[in-house]
Amino acid sequence: MIPPARPRKLAKVPFVELADGRLQGVVSSGSDIGRVYVSSVAAGSYAFACSTNNNRPCGGARGSFCNHIGALINEAVLQYGAERVVRYLKAEVPEGDVDGAVLASAMRSTRPPMDGTKAAASVFSRFLRHLAYLEHAPVTTPLPEMQFFPPTRAVA
Amino acid sequence: MRADLLTGPVEGLDEALAAVDAFDHALVAGLLRAQPAGAAGPTRLADAVTGTPLAARAAEAAAKAAAGAVGEDHFVALAAARTALLGSVHDALLARAEEAAGRSRGAPAVSPAGGEPAANLLTAARAWLCDLARCGWQGLDHEVVSGASEVVSAMLPEPALRRLATLLDGFAAELAASCPGASAERFPVRRWADLWSRGMLLTVPGAAAAPVTGTADGRLLPLGIDVTEHATAAQAQVHAVFEPADGSGPRLVRAGVAVPKPDTVVGAGIWQLLRPHMSLLAAAGEGRSMELTGMPVTAGGDLVWSDEHARPGEPAEAFATARVALPTATAPVTTPLDRHPAGIAVPVFLEGYTARTDDDGVLTFTVAGSDLVVDTDRIPAAGPLTPEAVARSGACIALIRWDAGAFGVQPLAVETTVRKKVTAVHAGAWAGGTADKAGVRAEKAATDAAKVLGERAGRLLRT
């Protein structure tokens, strides 16, 4: 079983996940309410990418992590706990407490390359799929399979 | 309660579980290739169902597995054999738990065969599960696991497919978190085989139907709320005593509401999603009975809730229900396919126990000289009940569960004495909302999260 996500504020980073070999997610634009950035960092290589949902590259992510990627890393640590994020990204972090800033700077110091795989479209569609979970009607017919999924007080 | 019955050995249990484990172990390496000599998991499983109607099919499937030539029907046969075996385990354990609780069982209702929903989605789900079984847990990679997402997305909008969709969704998320399988140190072998087998059986058309066999008219007295959840789904299930208006004997029933959810909706956010769809949650939270008129009920004792068949009744304190009505209530008979040890949840009232917490934080009740582990981890975080309150309690409404080879209890509510005053604390007290300070904070955070997601969905989903 996987411990549930920790609660966090969603306004800035409505979606973050560890999937497809990347830390990836969606960051709301600070200036335009209709615009979002799709940001990602690859596990192992830390190759990074950031662009709008209309595929315009983020101006801040030319040589290294932009602020959107920084925010994504921070929120991932909040949601999943530092340990799981570090493990997933195969990051080498200094001993002691790890927060988003420490993790970001550890990865940044390896001078990671830009990610040319153009995953933005697939990440964005995963975000839309995620949002679609709000749209499904509840059922009151029995769901005995849920007995396989007890809750836990442990947090990620 | 006869707690001693819960700690004694159950005849045949170890043998049945050994056969299950042998098969489960075969799923670790997968069934793609011919099975090496000595690793005869499917054969052990087939041998265990000799003399049952499944014998011939299971034996054929095991032979194909040994040769590395398993087809989809063979996988179904193996899943069925495993399910039957665990069904027998369930029956033995449930009989023991009900005897301990002093509960008698009602007459089984005959369940009509269900309809046959969208067969193509069931076929797609089965194909994915077969892929999993072939590659084995060690062969898991993101490509295999992600095969589920399209199937799940297509199934979720269809309520008739919700059981399978919810199961596969939770299963796939766990598998993804363990990818790649080659570098994982260990696997939850029995658990994943449980999820796999149940999924396989639910791909059989009609298997997931839980047809309504009658209606309920009378008074419903809630005992407590059991919450279950994975990252993208949650269910709240109210356990209650139903007193039929026709004067026939009281019965134990359940009524649940379940919903898919984004993984960032947690805690009080789950109550907010479920609350509008079942007035019973608020009634259970505030200690009120409900009057039912023509409420549909299934053979397995589940009310298929709809608010139009219920109206609020008199206040009904759960501990009064547990003391007075629960001992006389009969239990429903589990639906055949739902017979699995993980489904055992027998409501029971406990008092006169002593509680102790060991160094690892494990809480144990000693009930009439017998030790029962208290599963405090199942107490939902969005509620006023805490493990500490359970440890201080003098009386408890609980579910008898069977987990990791032993019986234990899951607390739904406790009575504690504070300054000579007895107070009841319920795990599901916040189900209908709360004025509790911590509760209000949790509700606010959940409302904010839901608002952001709703706004984003409104802006991005329909453009």
What CATH code is carried by the domain that includes residue B259? Answer: 2.40.50
Q: Are residues B188 and B268 in the same domain?
A: no
To which H or E segment does residue B406 belong?
strand B406-418
What is residue B9's predicted lDDT score, i.e. its pLDDT? Answer: 92
Cα distance from A84 to chain B (closest Cα, Å)? 10
Domain assignment of residue B322, yes or no? yes
Is the CB of residue B134 less than 8 Å from the CB of residue B194?
no
Tell me the two tokens of residue B301.
Answer: 């004792």
* Cα distance between residue B370 and residue B97, in whole Å: 14
Domain assignment of residue B350, yes or no? no
* Cα distance between residue B99 and residue B8, in whole Å: 13
What's the number of CA atoms in the CB half-sphere (13 Å) around residue B195?
Answer: 24
3-state helix, strand, coil in chain B (%, to 5): 45, 25, 30
Question: Edge-to-edge strand order for the sheet containing A48-52?
Answer: A15-19, A22-28, A36-42, A48-52
**Residue A32 near chain B (CB below 8 Å):** no
Last residue of a domain, one of B156, B180, B202: B202
| pLDDT-based confidence at residue A116 (cuts at 50, 70, 90) | confident
Question: Which domain range does residue B94 map to?
Answer: 13-202
Mean pLDDT over the full length of chain B: 93
| pLDDT-based confidence at residue B182 (cuts at 50, 70, 90) | confident
Tell me the chain B residues in contact with residue A11 when contact means C-beta distances shorter than 8 Å: 448, 452
What is residue B249's predicted lDDT score, i.e. its pLDDT? Answer: 94
Q: Which range among A111-125, B34-48, B91-105, B167-181 shows the weakest confidence by mean pLDDT?
A: B34-48
**Residue A43 near chain B (CB below 8 Å):** no
Q: Are residues B39 and B181 in the same domain?
A: yes
Burial B19-28 (b: 16+ CB within 10 A, else e): bbbbbbebbb
Instruction: Using DSSP, state whether B139 is helix, strand or coil.
Output: helix
Domain count, chain B: 2
pLDDT tens column, B78-90: 999 999 999 999 9
Inter-chain residue contact B167 with A9, CB threshold 8 Å: no
Last residue of a domain, one of B202, B233, B264: B202
What is residue B147's predicted lDDT score, i.e. its pLDDT? Answer: 93
Task: Centre a 10 Å sphere on the Cβ of residue B39 and count the other Cβ atoms it contains.
Answer: 15
E strands along B107-264, which residues? 212-230, 233-244, 251-260
Q: Are residues B147 and B50 in the same domain?
A: yes
Residue with tokens 């260990």: B186
Inter-chain residue contact B259 with A139, CB threshold 8 Å: yes
Tell me the chain B residues in contact with residue A141 when contact means C-beta distances shorter than 8 Å: 159, 162, 210, 302, 304
Q: Are residues B88 and B197 in the same domain?
A: yes
Looking at the predicted structure, is the pLDDT value of residue B304 above 80?
yes
Q: Are residues B300 and B243 in the same domain?
A: yes
Task: Centre a 10 Å sphere on the Cβ of residue B160 and count the other Cβ atoms it contains.
Answer: 17
Quote the longest CA-to-CA distance of chain B: 70
Question: Angle B361-B364-B366 (CA atoms, 0-180°, nearest 5)?
Answer: 155
Nearest CA in chain B to A79: B264
- Alpha helices by DSSP H, chain A: 67-80, 82-89, 100-108, 120-132
Q: Are residues B147 and B216 in the same domain?
A: no
Count helices and strands in chain B by DSSP H and E runs: 14, 13
- Confidence (pTM): 0.94
Tell me the chain B residues in contact with residue A15 when contact means C-beta distances shorter than 8 Å: 264
Domain assignment of residue B244, yes or no? yes
Domain assignment of residue B185, yes or no? yes
What is residue B116's predicted lDDT score, i.e. its pLDDT? Answer: 60
Q: Percentage of chain B surpassing pLDDT 70?
A: 97
Q: Are residues B183 and B306 in the same domain?
A: no
